[in-house]
Amino acid sequence: DAVAKVALGVEDFSEKAVDAFNAAVEVVSEVVAEVQVAIETTNNLIDANNRFAALQNRLLVQNAELTKELEEQKKISEDTTRAYDERSEALENVIAANEQLVENALLEAKETENLLQAKLALTKNDEDRRELEAELAQATADRIAREQEASIVSLESAQLRRELDQEELDRKMSIE
Protein backbone atom coordinates (compact mmCIF):
# COMPACT_ATOMS: atom_id res chain seq x y z
CA ASP A 1 0.00 0.00 0.00
CA ALA A 2 2.85 2.36 0.87
CA VAL A 3 4.62 1.56 -2.39
CA ALA A 4 1.42 2.30 -4.31
CA LYS A 5 1.11 5.66 -2.57
CA VAL A 6 4.72 6.51 -3.40
CA ALA A 7 4.19 5.44 -7.01
CA LEU A 8 0.99 7.49 -7.18
CA GLY A 9 2.82 10.50 -5.65
CA VAL A 10 5.64 10.17 -8.19
CA GLU A 11 3.11 9.89 -10.99
CA ASP A 12 1.19 12.93 -9.67
CA PHE A 13 4.45 14.85 -9.32
CA SER A 14 5.45 13.89 -12.88
CA GLU A 15 2.13 15.17 -14.25
CA LYS A 16 2.52 18.44 -12.36
CA ALA A 17 6.12 18.80 -13.55
CA VAL A 18 5.06 18.18 -17.17
CA ASP A 19 2.21 20.68 -16.81
CA ALA A 20 4.58 23.27 -15.32
CA PHE A 21 7.10 22.64 -18.08
CA ASN A 22 4.41 22.98 -20.76
CA ALA A 23 3.20 26.23 -19.18
CA ALA A 24 6.78 27.54 -19.14
CA VAL A 25 7.23 26.60 -22.80
CA GLU A 26 4.02 28.43 -23.66
CA VAL A 27 5.13 31.57 -21.79
CA VAL A 28 8.56 31.49 -23.43
CA SER A 29 6.96 31.02 -26.86
CA GLU A 30 4.73 34.04 -26.25
CA VAL A 31 7.71 36.13 -25.12
CA VAL A 32 9.70 35.07 -28.18
CA ALA A 33 6.79 36.00 -30.46
CA GLU A 34 6.44 39.40 -28.76
CA VAL A 35 10.18 40.01 -29.03
CA GLN A 36 10.08 39.12 -32.73
CA VAL A 37 7.23 41.61 -33.28
CA ALA A 38 9.15 44.28 -31.34
CA ILE A 39 12.30 43.64 -33.38
CA GLU A 40 10.34 43.81 -36.63
CA THR A 41 8.64 47.04 -35.56
CA THR A 42 11.98 48.54 -34.50
CA ASN A 43 13.57 47.51 -37.80
CA ASN A 44 10.64 49.09 -39.66
CA LEU A 45 11.21 52.33 -37.75
CA ILE A 46 14.93 52.29 -38.53
CA ASP A 47 14.13 51.68 -42.21
CA ALA A 48 11.55 54.48 -42.17
CA ASN A 49 14.07 56.86 -40.59
CA ASN A 50 16.69 55.93 -43.19
CA ARG A 51 14.24 56.32 -46.10
CA PHE A 52 13.06 59.67 -44.75
CA ALA A 53 16.61 60.99 -44.34
CA ALA A 54 17.50 59.88 -47.87
CA LEU A 55 14.32 61.48 -49.22
CA GLN A 56 15.04 64.76 -47.45
CA ASN A 57 18.59 64.83 -48.84
CA ARG A 58 17.40 64.08 -52.36
CA LEU A 59 14.61 66.66 -52.20
CA LEU A 60 16.90 69.31 -50.74
CA VAL A 61 19.17 69.16 -53.78
CA GLN A 62 16.32 68.72 -56.26
CA ASN A 63 14.37 71.64 -54.80
CA ALA A 64 17.43 73.91 -54.99
CA GLU A 65 17.89 72.99 -58.66
CA LEU A 66 14.19 73.47 -59.38
CA THR A 67 14.14 76.85 -57.65
CA LYS A 68 17.16 78.00 -59.65
CA GLU A 69 15.56 76.84 -62.92
CA LEU A 70 12.22 78.34 -61.93
CA GLU A 71 13.71 81.79 -61.30
CA GLU A 72 15.62 81.79 -64.59
CA GLN A 73 12.63 80.62 -66.61
CA LYS A 74 10.30 83.03 -64.82
CA LYS A 75 12.47 85.98 -65.89
CA ILE A 76 12.34 84.76 -69.49
CA SER A 77 8.59 84.20 -69.42
CA GLU A 78 8.00 87.72 -68.09
CA ASP A 79 10.37 89.41 -70.56
CA THR A 80 8.05 91.11 -73.07
CA THR A 81 10.98 91.81 -75.41
CA ARG A 82 11.31 88.09 -76.16
CA ALA A 83 9.31 86.13 -78.74
CA TYR A 84 6.04 84.50 -77.74
CA ASP A 85 7.37 80.98 -78.41
CA GLU A 86 10.38 81.56 -76.18
CA ARG A 87 8.22 83.04 -73.41
CA SER A 88 5.69 80.23 -73.80
CA GLU A 89 8.36 77.55 -73.49
CA ALA A 90 9.81 79.31 -70.45
CA LEU A 91 6.34 79.49 -68.89
CA GLU A 92 5.90 75.75 -69.38
CA ASN A 93 9.22 75.24 -67.59
CA VAL A 94 8.07 77.51 -64.76
CA ILE A 95 4.83 75.57 -64.45
CA ALA A 96 6.64 72.23 -64.44
CA ALA A 97 9.14 73.41 -61.80
CA ASN A 98 6.37 74.82 -59.60
CA GLU A 99 4.37 71.62 -59.86
CA GLN A 100 7.43 69.51 -59.03
CA LEU A 101 8.26 71.68 -56.00
CA VAL A 102 4.72 71.26 -54.70
CA GLU A 103 4.81 67.54 -55.42
CA ASN A 104 8.09 67.27 -53.48
CA ALA A 105 6.59 69.13 -50.52
CA LEU A 106 3.57 66.82 -50.59
CA LEU A 107 5.79 63.73 -50.76
CA GLU A 108 7.84 64.93 -47.80
CA ALA A 109 4.68 65.69 -45.81
CA LYS A 110 3.31 62.19 -46.49
CA GLU A 111 6.60 60.58 -45.48
CA THR A 112 6.69 62.65 -42.29
CA GLU A 113 3.25 61.26 -41.44
CA ASN A 114 4.42 57.70 -42.16
CA LEU A 115 7.50 58.14 -39.97
CA LEU A 116 5.48 59.52 -37.07
CA GLN A 117 3.00 56.64 -37.37
CA ALA A 118 5.89 54.18 -37.19
CA LYS A 119 7.26 55.92 -34.08
CA LEU A 120 3.80 55.91 -32.53
CA ALA A 121 3.54 52.15 -33.07
CA LEU A 122 6.63 51.67 -30.88
CA THR A 123 5.81 54.16 -28.16
CA LYS A 124 4.29 52.80 -24.97
CA ASN A 125 4.69 55.80 -22.65
CA ASP A 126 1.48 57.86 -22.49
CA GLU A 127 3.24 61.23 -22.41
CA ASP A 128 5.40 60.33 -25.41
CA ARG A 129 2.34 58.99 -27.25
CA ARG A 130 0.44 62.24 -26.70
CA GLU A 131 3.43 64.22 -27.96
CA LEU A 132 3.73 62.03 -31.06
CA GLU A 133 -0.02 62.18 -31.67
CA ALA A 134 0.21 65.99 -31.59
CA GLU A 135 3.14 65.88 -34.04
CA LEU A 136 1.18 63.51 -36.26
CA ALA A 137 -1.84 65.82 -36.21
CA GLN A 138 0.42 68.72 -37.25
CA ALA A 139 2.01 66.60 -39.98
CA THR A 140 -1.45 65.68 -41.26
CA ALA A 141 -2.44 69.36 -41.29
CA ASP A 142 0.80 70.14 -43.18
CA ARG A 143 0.03 67.45 -45.76
CA ILE A 144 -3.46 68.87 -46.26
CA ALA A 145 -1.92 72.32 -46.74
CA ARG A 146 0.49 70.88 -49.34
CA GLU A 147 -2.47 69.31 -51.15
CA GLN A 148 -4.17 72.71 -51.19
CA GLU A 149 -0.96 74.28 -52.50
CA ALA A 150 -0.92 71.76 -55.32
CA SER A 151 -4.43 72.73 -56.28
CA ILE A 152 -3.60 76.45 -56.15
CA VAL A 153 -0.42 75.99 -58.21
CA SER A 154 -2.45 74.19 -60.84
CA LEU A 155 -4.98 77.03 -60.98
CA GLU A 156 -2.26 79.69 -61.07
CA SER A 157 -0.44 77.82 -63.83
CA ALA A 158 -3.56 77.77 -65.95
CA GLN A 159 -4.04 81.48 -65.31
CA LEU A 160 -0.46 82.31 -66.32
CA ARG A 161 -0.91 80.29 -69.51
CA ARG A 162 -4.15 82.15 -70.36
CA GLU A 163 -2.56 85.54 -69.65
CA LEU A 164 0.41 84.85 -71.90
CA ASP A 165 -1.86 83.55 -74.64
CA GLN A 166 -4.07 86.63 -74.29
CA GLU A 167 -1.03 88.92 -74.51
CA GLU A 168 -0.01 87.23 -77.73
CA LEU A 169 -3.53 87.44 -79.13
CA ASP A 170 -3.72 91.14 -78.25
CA ARG A 171 -0.32 91.74 -79.86
CA LYS A 172 -1.41 90.00 -83.07
CA MET A 173 -4.68 91.92 -83.15
CA SER A 174 -2.85 95.23 -82.71
CA ILE A 175 -0.66 94.42 -85.74
CA GLU A 176 -3.61 93.66 -88.02
Please determine, for residue 4, whether its predicted confidence score (pLDDT) is greater than 80. no
Q: How far apart are CA 170 and CA 176, in angstroms?
A: 10
Q: How far apart are CA 6 and CA 1, in angstroms?
A: 9
| CA atoms in the 13 A half-sphere facing the CB of 101 | 19
Higher pLDDT, 8 or 78: 78
pLDDT value of position 34:
85
Query: Which pLDDT tens digit goes with each residue over 129-164?
Result: 999 999 999 999 999 998 998 889 889 989 999 999
Please determine, for residue 40, whether its predicted confidence score (pLDDT) is greater than 60. yes
pLDDT value of position 132:
95
